[in-house]
Amino acid sequence: MIGRIRGELIDKQPPFLLVDVQGVGYEIEAPASTLASCPAIGEQITLHTHLIVREDAHVLCGFITEQERQLFRHLIKVNSVGAKLALGILSGMSAEGFVRCVHEKDTAGLTRLPGVGKKTAERLIIEMRDRLKDMDISTANLTAADSKRGIGSDNNAMQDAISGLVSLGYKPQEASRLLQHVDLDGLNSEAMIKSALKVAATVS
């Protein structure tokens, strides 16, 4: 199991990152929250990773915080929730926001996530409730390094951007997919929406 990667960020093509570790390039799939918190190309990056071994591929998923990786690992244990959906959930909502939705039984909030319908939202609430008891996730528990990178504000801006795109007629999963093709570094929600609309224009 590859549990941690530290090296030079040499490319960022959402949803993938390419990290050079002593001459070996690791292609890592990451949620939008991690992509938004990445340093500039050429700088050092540390990612908490989870390796998924399949018959046809080995998929390395990376997360900027240990809390995100923990949540991802809990999510993929839920019935009918695979790695793709788990990454989509983390792309559409912060770990803190997800925990709040589960504790408050907010199915409406969860169904706004890409790929999550009412039945899946109800299943997430039921199956994640006990698993989250051992997790200490709150805004106050972000480390000083995480706060410096602006993880909380980046996630909030991204959620606002998704909501804005939904109000323009896009489905939540479409909005999240568009934002995965946007370089989110330093962008507020309005700028994210404008960039996502430009992406939509080029693929339509």
Q: Are residues 121 and 73 in the same domain?
A: yes
Beta-carbon neighbour count of residue 145 at 10 Å?
Answer: 11
Q: Are residues 49 and 76 in the same domain?
A: no
Q: Are residues 107 and 124 in the same domain?
A: yes
CATH number at residue 122: 1.10.150.20
Of 137, 135, 111, nearest to 122 by C-alpha is 111
Strand partners, 201: none
- Measured CA distances, 149 to 66, 86, 130 (Å): 15, 23, 30
pLDDT value, residue 187: 82
3-state SS class at 102: helix
pLDDT value, residue 188: 83
pLDDT value, residue 178: 83
pLDDT value, residue 148: 35
Amino acid symbol at 190: E
CATH number at residue 20: 2.40.50.140
Q: Are residues 73 and 130 in the same domain?
A: yes
Q: Are residues 155 and 198 in the same domain?
A: yes
Mean pLDDT in order along the chain per 10 residues (204 residues): 93 90 95 84 96 90 93 92 90 83 91 87 92 60 36 60 74 75 80 85 69
Query: Per the structure, how many domains does the chain have?
Result: 3
Q: Are residues 106 and 53 in the same domain?
A: no
Find out whether 15 and 176 touch, Cβ atoms under 8 Å: no
pTM of the model: 0.69
In this structure, what token pair is assigned to residue 151?
Answer: 């993880």
CA angle 125, 149, 42 (to 5 degrees): 120
Rg (CA), the chain: 16
Tell me phi and psi for residue 16, to 5 degrees: -110, 145
CATH number at residue 170: 1.10.8.10
**Which of residues 34, 63, 92 is at a domain's end?**
63
Task: Tell me which residue range forms the domain holding 150.
Answer: 143-203
